[in-house]
Structure 1
């Protein structure tokens, strides 16, 4: 059985950050869950924590393993068809706080890669995630969502631009802030400081962009009007005392939060990931309409995967049919050779086997089609009688 348990984007941020995973904790969790199931994948982002599983229902055990017992009521559960549809919708951006945002597809891919590297993935789960990634790619291509950019980065920089911000600092330079940097560079600005632990990772050729060592960031904060934080640290990285001379906007795009509580600081306007995504964007309604028009793509991939699951259940029957085919042609060939011993054995074997296989292969194709169309049980009963398997 395939199922998932998850914490949705609608759960308050202060709860979501307690249920999120750092990379090392995520790997430990996967290895622990695998002891109880056939395969598992954890999708952990700033908006959601979702655990996908193939195996027996071990929901209570998984929640206990993760130490989430006190938050059990915040989880939702889906299995089989609903689980499949949920992941496909996630990969296409339907369930993102920022409708149709593109980063989720990369996060789905990264979640799969981690499970593959740890060897905790099952064949069916791998197939499901591969299908979800293909679905997300086709959905975005046919929807042309790039024409209507919406992401936390685009919302933040659009907001800053409208409020006259031209001096920026990025804290962290992962996927989110790389995208943020692109939006800053595409607009008018005076200076962009990028605070990282390894300044060599920043290779932007623009004299207005300055890579600074993470530990030196406090020296530059007074010189900026907008700070965007997006690290993967399990703790806060921007302290209140570092902001005593700061006047401007802080956008905390991380889960768990990167910034200490600064809401009471005078002249500091603070946004967490939830308040960022609540800012209205002119492209949202256009995206929603286009995405709904292309929902048929999700339905196509869903049906293809469900058919794969159904046909996979025929593996034992197919093996029996193939064995029956071998037995039939070998018996017939033996009788013929006994009667005509001077015959060309190899040529006859090819002829007898190909004839027998042709009928069995046709039976298999019909059985698959009938199963997909909901008449599998009756067809299977007939095939078993004909081939005596």
Structure 2
């Protein structure tokens, strides 16, 4: 079986494409069930964030095509749309990719810490919905250990800069003084929590958190002295907001062009800075066409992110080295496990031969045959049956000039310390 990592990310596809293949939390159970039901797919996990959708599977040699076809069918996309922007990795390359993702080396913001938590969530979801078997279970656990080592031994996580930080940093280029600004945050997840923290530390005048459930909004807003509202109250809050940053898991946009137009009239066209971090997007793209609206998506944060990348490159190089060691360790353990299965089958075969020979010898003894002759016959039968298969295949290998097989057989079968008949 083959380990496969298949997906698209911010490097291969624009947000317009990524949002079409994103999985909402409510879709994960059905998606994992369908993936596992595909012919040849034994294990599966799904990672879906604003910057990437990736499928990790243990499958047969034909699995990649089936899985890519399934991804298109699940989201109603044509094969060409996905093939243009999809990438895939196999076996040790797939393991390396997963480890690089886990430590933030493949992220838009180099070394950003959120992806590890998102990956752990994907792992737990796959476990909960029976997507994991031994292969992916061991790979994820090994990956988490490597990620912990990278965070401990390098500076990749020092002064963490996330997409949330980049969004607030971009806002600071427009608003010289946050103490005069009011912010509306839509969502109550980890990203919005980071945004709220950065804005609070920057001294924003007023913070409003809008969420589908008021309770979650209240918990987050209360931490930073803000106000909590539901999504239905957004139109009124929008009239007072100078900054709007949104990151939810909603399948459809929350802010439409008409709602924003009405808010601008109430504001007498005072400008609003908006950042849509969500994938799928929370803010209709047409909102960006309005005068006095400065709308940015997660793909527009590159300048801030590139500055972060330059500062972290030394730590990233150290992380790459640790990951290579981690991949090598994983490959070694995988080979050992593969040999373990072969050893178990070989010992079971030998045990079967032994048990059969023993039963025959005991039956002969029970009939009163001479014990010395029975033991001698038992030893001869065991030796002949154990040597017959390897001897036959060695002759075949010699005739086919398979010198590699013959050399391996000498290592495996000949014990230099064993007594010889000539001794």
Asked if these proteins are the same fold (TM beyond 0.5), I'd say: yes
Aligned residue for 1:254? 278
Using a 3 Å threshold, how does the CA distance of structure 1 residues 237 and 205 change in structure 2: closer, same or farther? closer
CA distance in 1, matches of 2:320, 2:282: 36
CA distance in 2, matches of 1:181, 1:70: 40
Cα RMSD (Å) = 2.8
Q: Is residue 2:74 matched to residue 1:49?
A: no
Aligned residue for 2:332? 307
Q: Displacement, 1:379?
A: 5.8
Higher mean displacement: 99-108 or 143-152 = 143-152
- CA shift digits 1:320-355 (9 cap, x unpaired): 676669969xx9xx9xxxxxxxxxxxxxxxxxxxxx
Using a 3 Å threshold, how does the CA distance of structure 1 residues 315 and 384 change in structure 2: closer, same or farther? farther
Q: Displacement, 1:293?
A: 2.5
Using a 3 Å threshold, how does the CA distance of structure 1 residues 377 and 120 change in structure 2: closer, same or farther? farther
Q: Displacement, 1:264?
A: 1.3
Match of 2:242 among 225, 228, 236: 225
CA distance in 2, matches of 1:124, 1:381: 32
Aligned residue for 2:29? 27
CA distance in 2, matches of 1:381, 1:234: 63
Counterpart of 1:185 in 2: which secondary structure? Answer: helix
Q: Is residue 2:258 matched to residue 1:241?
A: yes
Question: Contact between 2:197 and 2:224, CA under 8 Å: does it hold in 1?
Answer: no
Using a 3 Å threshold, how does the CA distance of structure 1 residues 318 and 150 change in structure 2: closer, same or farther? same
CA distance in 1, matches of 2:137, 2:186: 34
- CA shift digits 1:189-235 (9 cap, x unpaired): 11000001222223244674001121111111121210000000111
Question: Where do residues 243-282 of structure 1 align in structure 2 (5 Å cutoff)?
Answer: 243-244=260-261, 245-246=263-264, 247-260=271-284, 261-280=286-305, 282=307
Question: Where do residues 140-155 of structure 1 align in structure 2 (5 Å cutoff)?
Answer: 140-155=151-166
Aligned residue for 1:366? none
Q: Is residue 2:412 matched to residue 1:383?
A: yes
Normalized against structure 2, the TM-score is what?
0.75
Aligned residue for 2:391? none
Aligned length: 346
Q: Displacement, 1:179?
A: 1.3
CA distance in 2, matches of 1:133, 1:213: 36
Q: Displacement, 1:161?
A: 3.0
- CA shift digits 1:90-110 (9 cap, x unpaired): 111111111111111111111
Higher mean displacement: 280-289 or 47-56 = 280-289
Using a 3 Å threshold, how does the CA distance of structure 1 residues 316 and 200 change in structure 2: closer, same or farther? closer
Which structure's CA Rg is the greater one? Answer: 2
Question: Contact between 1:155 and 1:281, CA under 8 Å: does it hold in 2?
Answer: no
